[in-house]
Amino acid sequence: MTKPPVMPQGGEPIESSGDYGDTDLVRRYSVAYLRNEQDDDLSALGVRFDNFFLESSLYTTGAVQKTVQAIIDAGYTYEADNALWLRTTAFEDLGNGLRDDKDRVMKKSDGTYTYFVPDVAYHLNKFSRGYTKAVNIQGTDHHGTIARVRAGLQAASKTLGVTIPKTFPEYILHKMLSVVKGGEVVKMSKRSGNYVTLRDLVDWAGRDAARFFLVSRKADAEFVFDVDLAKKNSDENPVYYLQYAHARICSVFANALEQGYEVPNREALAAVDLSALNSKAAEALIGAVAEYPNTLRLAARDHAPHILCYYLKDLAAAFHAFYNAERVLVDDAVERNARLALLAAARQGLANGLALLGISAPERMARRDDEADAQ
């Protein structure tokens, strides 16, 4: 039976012939089909890759063989037990004091290469294309890969006449997460084929919640994705808490117009007299807003989006405290405009931060309860 053609992103369409004896076509069709599923799942999460690089191309173009030869020519290999070994222990510092505790097999006795060898070839290719900074996001089970890949790159660079930083590439290693749904842990096992996909998380909790929850913790921290929590319309759900803060500020401005107040535009708000913002709640919110630029610097420097997540929760908390302590729409125009200017700054910080995380910032949301925004 002939299957419909598949065409993964960045690839050529592959048609099924219906001949199950054509193992090469079956393999290529299966890979393309799985790639399509991955593309769909990533699209559901709002993720799109600009380029796909197939590991198989490193073999068909001879890149792996050239890389191995460059390492051999540099004098960092030897043969033992019918295998080719990389002398990784020859490198005492592979970035931040990292070194390998023993040499590693590059080419096995059956003539096939070990898994880290194409990684070395790929990163040589990437570096040669001008990408002098690379960050690999992998699971903690790839910890041993770091020293091997970097050692291979340093060895090959001696022959190729290029200078590659010892810390190239950088690595962020993530621990596995567990998923709780309906109050029970979802059992996952690679061996039995039971697992939760990105699409599952998006379907269960929504794109915004899935994106936030997945980046809201340190890479090396244990994490439980609570599906039921991610769906709650309450302060317990951090995504709802942040989005509700943004929507609540929007409602204050909408109410101001409905009540007939003259609301200054963006430029005018930037020039209002802020001397009326002298309460503890106002000063706390001002301080939270002012931390935004530094928060971004730290998050970018450490490749740590969770820092931004923590900040946004603090900013939302400061806003809610101010909102509950201070009436915004007062009759005094100086006080009213000063408070509106502060809320506008907080709203901008929330919107910008959520946008960086790929999360929406709605202007209207269902209230947590029956309270009215009388501000």
Q: What is the pLDDT, as a whole number, of residue 12?
A: 67
Structural domains in the chain? 55-174 (3.40.50.620), 177-230 (no CATH), 238-356 (1.10.730.10)
Instruction: Indicate the pTM of the whole model.
Output: 0.86
Q: What is the pLDDT, as a whole number, of residue 81?
A: 94
pLDDT, block means (10 residues), the chain with 375 residues: 62 68 79 84 89 89 96 97 96 93 96 96 96 94 94 96 96 91 84 79 94 93 92 93 97 95 90 93 97 97 96 98 95 94 97 97 76 53
Q: What is the pLDDT, as a whole number, of residue 85?
A: 98
Q: What is the pLDDT, as a whole number, of residue 373?
A: 52
User: Alpha-carbon torsion 223, 224, 227, 228, what sign?
Assistant: negative
CA dihedral 344, 345, 347, 353 (to 10 degrees): 160
Inter-CA distances, 170 with 133, 166, 234, Å: 8, 9, 38
- 107 DSSP β-pair partners: 84, 113
Q: What is the pLDDT, as a whole number, of residue 222?
A: 86
Q: What is the pLDDT, as a whole number, of residue 177?
A: 85
Q: What is the pLDDT, as a whole number, of residue 370?
A: 42
Q: What is the pLDDT, as a whole number, of residue 7?
A: 63
Residue 332: Cβ-neighbour burial (10 angstroms; 0-12, 13-18, 19+): exposed
53: amino acid identity, one letter: F
The CA distance from 256 to 193, in Å, is 56
If you count them, how many residues does the chain have? 375
